[in-house]
Amino acid sequence: MLMIVSETADKIKSMEIRGAGRIARAVAEALRDHALAVPARDPDVFRQEMERAAAMLLATRPTAVSLPNAVHVVMAGLDHAKTAEDARAGVVRRADDFIRSSQHAVEQIAQFGASHIRDGDTILTHCNSEVALGCIIEAHRQGKEIEVFATEVRPRNQGLITIRTLNDAGIKTNFIVDSAVRSFIHDIDLVIVGADAVTVNGAVVNKIGTAQVAHSAREARVNMIVAAETYKFAPRTILGELIRIEERAGSEVLPDEIARTLPHVTVRNPAFDVTPAGYIDLIVTEKGAIPPQMAYVIIRDYLGWGIDEFHLAFGPAGPNGDE
């Protein structure tokens, strides 16, 4: 019964499906297809089946908050349903709405983001972000003369996907190793990256190396913008919850046959890092561009997590008992 869901879960774990937005849409699709396949007529049994599926998807990768946000949105379709049919219809409707609005958000951000790119700009991007690339490609489509520097993105080489996409769009692109960012930063007018999570204090969690890019950009006074749909903002950071940084297998960095010969060496392979709000000029969302310090407003207004829920969960003193 959980076939559809376990297939999607495996693809997310192995990164066959990757990129925070694509993961979110795949999860919504898997929950929808599962809801349609579950024969349960009893609403409680149906709910249990859906909760098992949601748990399986939530356990795949820990960092991209778009994943639990998508699960939360779709599973809310079960709320107030008195029959299994109502619950099923609720899940299907919410999944379809989520997928549609996610695609719309990507298009909207491309429009907003492109307006921050000027004719003649040289742009640096790191990793492979659908939304960041959307902004660059839209600027090119509008006839702006642009050039891109794209990093390799060790160890998974997502930079290869990026340069293929840019090449297909006919955009002049330079491919560099991650450690060359500092050497080229003075040739760059604007850095654009995506996000896996944005916390309430406006920090951006994105592919490992993003924080180093941001540091170089700040030192060279190059603006850095982040393209992120509102479902990449992390509501539970209001409660003091930290984003868990995924650490992947060392074999992605160093082949096992070499690692085996080096008993005193441990390979560390964090997949993401955290760029503080102070290094980021703007976050471009589908609701418009905001300074990162306004992340709380996005969480409150578009994800429905406000200070009221905060008080309901912990009382007016907050999670640590501080007034």
The SS3 assignment for 151 reads: strand
HSE value, Cβ hemisphere, 13 Å, CA-based, for 44:
0
Residues 40/51, Cβ–Cβ less than 8 Å: no
The answer to whether residue 135 is catalytic is no
Q: How far is the CB of 102 from ligand RI2 (least distance, A)?
A: 9
Residue of 33, 121, 127, 178 marked active site:
127
Interface positions, 273-302, toward ligand RI2 (CB under 6 A):
none
User: Is 18 or 88 the residue whose CB approaches ligand RI2 more closely?
Assistant: 18
User: Which of the stretches 187-195, 216-224, 284-292, 301-309 binds ligand RI2 when contact is defined by CB under 6 A?
Assistant: 187-195
The answer to whether residue 196 is catalytic is yes
User: Is 25 or 300 the residue whose CB approaches ligand RI2 more closely?
Assistant: 25
Query: Which two three-digit tokens encode residue 276?
Result: 């503080």
Among 33, 130, 138, 152, binds ligand RI2 (CB under 6 A): 130
Residue of 33, 121, 178, 196 marked active site:
196
Interface positions, 15-44, toward ligand RI2 (CB under 6 A):
18-22
Query: Which two three-digit tokens encode residue 288?
Result: 């418009």
User: Whose CA is closest to 105, among 225, 227, 197?
Assistant: 227
Among 173, 206, 216, 237, binds ligand RI2 (CB under 6 A): 206
Single-letter amino acid code for the residue at 319:
P
The continuous run of DSSP H or E covering 70 comes out as helix 66-75
Residues 242/222, Cβ–Cβ less than 8 Å: no
φ and ψ at residue 147, rounded to 5 degrees? -135, 145
Catalytic positions are 127, 196
Footprint of ligand RI2 on this chain (CB under 6 A)?
18-22, 127, 129-131, 158, 193-196, 206-207, 271
